[in-house]
Amino acid sequence: MRKTDILIIGGGPAGLVAAITARKNNPDKKIILAREDKKCVIPCGLPYIFNRLKAVEKDITSDKIYQINKIDLIIGQIIKIETGNKKVILKNNKGINYDKLILATGSSPAIIPIRGIELDGVYQIRKDIGYLKNLRNKIIKAKNIVIIGGGFIGVELAEELSALKNKNISIVEILDHCLIANFDKKFALAGEERIVGKGVKLYLKTAVEEIIGKDKVEKVKLNNGKKITADLVIMAVGARPNINLAEKAKIKTAKKGGILVNKFMQTNIPDIFAIGDCAETKNFFTKKNNLIMLASVACYEARIAGANLYHKTIKNNGTVAAFSTFLNGLVLGSVGLNEREANKGKIKIVIGQSATPNHHPGTLPNTEMIRIKLIFSQSSKTLLGGQIVGPESVAEMINLIAVAIQQRMTAQELANLQVATHPLLTAAPTVYPIIEAAQKILKM
């Protein structure tokens, strides 16, 4: 029977960061990380293995980091947690005793019930190297590819595949627009325009009724009766938390499916923590449980859990849900509340917007527009949310807005923001987008 002070189950971003953080905070403790896969893919890079990266092998996390941090790596499936004995059992019947346990079991692709989903040629985006290699080979050979789901994975995948020769790419999205779950309409439309510009066909406000074929996919039938020719169908309809191991151990889960944790990332069982996609997150504003499955959120939670194992000092104040994507040269970023969510929650808001060139003067070569929307509380003028669209140079601007939200900055404080500017790198200091959008609130 092996023994360890700290055991982490799961080798994705959450497990990796938790292990490293635990080592930094506990230099003398024995740490083991157990995972099922011999090698782990980098989840955020999955859409790009089909063209930009050229191979699945170029999207793999190096295990050298475990050696550097003196973390023991075990490859094997853990099938049971005995919470009373503080022991886990592997599939090979070997056991590991632990003092502290972190669950970072991640998520799996969601599957919606559609007739014909069992046909050859229907795939998901799984974090499995062999599966992804097979999918990549199928994509290279396919001509007509239908993607079900117009969220981040769906649109990023469509944009990536549209760069391959002789491909007809379609997205079927049940909502009014792609990315509309995270962006207000004007920003979602900007993203749609870029992927349509790459030749991708969009079927919006439409559901897939049936996948048609004898043994292999031949067509996709929509709920409006239209049939799309398809050699390959890729399901990109979200993910579900991997909680079977936790449920068997009587660890509490929420209605939406994630493992329930407190502000220190602890579960209801002493000395067991949960982080990442398998854990239920809390909304930064409402403190209500919700599921936000992002690697950035997972790493945030991992740093908290890794630091709190023996001394509970760092609190999780809830996720602000910072998103970003890159579509055909365009960056879209969103964080905090959008206008639709604020209205749904009956939160009274005021909005400041700005549209400025990303260079100054605007006559410089390769100048593009930056458009920004900031959402503030009507009463306190505290920043609640922000969205941005523009060229690649604005990618980190959404993170600046995320920091401002977490620090509960007001319109006045943002209007007085001190920033670095340069003609070739940023908008002019006279009309810096965040400052200008905040200044407009002060005039209301």
What are the DSSP calls for 389-430, one per residue? EESGGGTTHHHHHHHHHHTT-BHHHHHT------TTTS--GG
Judge if 78 and 221 occupy the same domain. Answer: no
Q: Is residue 407 part of a domain?
A: yes
Judge if 69 and 26 occupy the same domain. Answer: yes
CATH of the domain at 379: 3.30.390.30
User: CB of 272 within 8 A of CB of 86?
Assistant: no
In this structure, which amino acid lies at residue 28?
D
Q: Is residue 438 part of a domain?
A: yes
Task: Please count the structural domains in the chain.
Answer: 3
Judge if 386 and 430 occupy the same domain. Answer: yes
pLDDT digits (tens, 9 = 90+) for 143-174: 999 999 999 999 999 999 999 999 999 999 99
CATH of the domain at 140: 3.50.50.60
Domain carrying residue 196: 111-237
The residue count for the chain: 444
Q: What is the mean pLDDT of the chain?
A: 96
Judge if 104 and 187 occupy the same domain. Answer: no
What torsion do the CA atoms of 161, 163, 169, 172 make, to the nearest 10 degrees?
60
Q: Is residue 318 part of a domain?
A: no
pLDDT digits (tens, 9 = 90+) for 355-381: 999 999 999 999 999 999 999 999 999
Q: Is residue 313 part of a domain?
A: no
Judge if 116 and 189 occupy the same domain. Answer: yes
Tell me, what's the pLDDT at 291? 83
Judge if 260 and 348 occupy the same domain. Answer: no
pTM of the model: 0.95
Q: How confident is the model at residue 185 (pLDDT cuts 50, 70, 90)?
A: very high
Q: Is residue 319 part of a domain?
A: no
Listing DSSP states for 243-303 in one string gives -HHHHHTT--B-TTSSBP--TTSB-SSTTEEE-GGGBPEEBTTT--EE----HHHHHHHHH
Judge if 65 and 136 occupy the same domain. Answer: no
Judge if 66 and 140 occupy the same domain. Answer: no
Q: How confident is the model at residue 1 (pLDDT cuts 50, 70, 90)?
A: confident
Tell me, what's the pLDDT at 172? 98
Of 210, 237, 264, the residue that ends a domain is: 237
How many Cβ atoms sit within 10 Å of the Cβ of residue 129? 18
Q: Is residue 53 part of a domain?
A: no
pLDDT digits (tens, 9 = 90+) for 307-337: 999 999 999 999 999 999 999 999 999 999 9
Which conformational region is residue 148 in: left (phi greater than 0), alpha (psi within -120 to 50 degrees), or beta? beta
Tell me, what's the pLDDT at 443? 79
Residue 369 CA to residue 380 CA, distance in Å, equals 30
Judge if 172 and 125 occupy the same domain. Answer: yes
Judge if 246 and 233 occupy the same domain. Answer: no
Of 237, 260, 280, the residue that ends a domain is: 237
Tell me, what's the pLDDT at 317? 94
State the Rg of the chain over Cα: 23
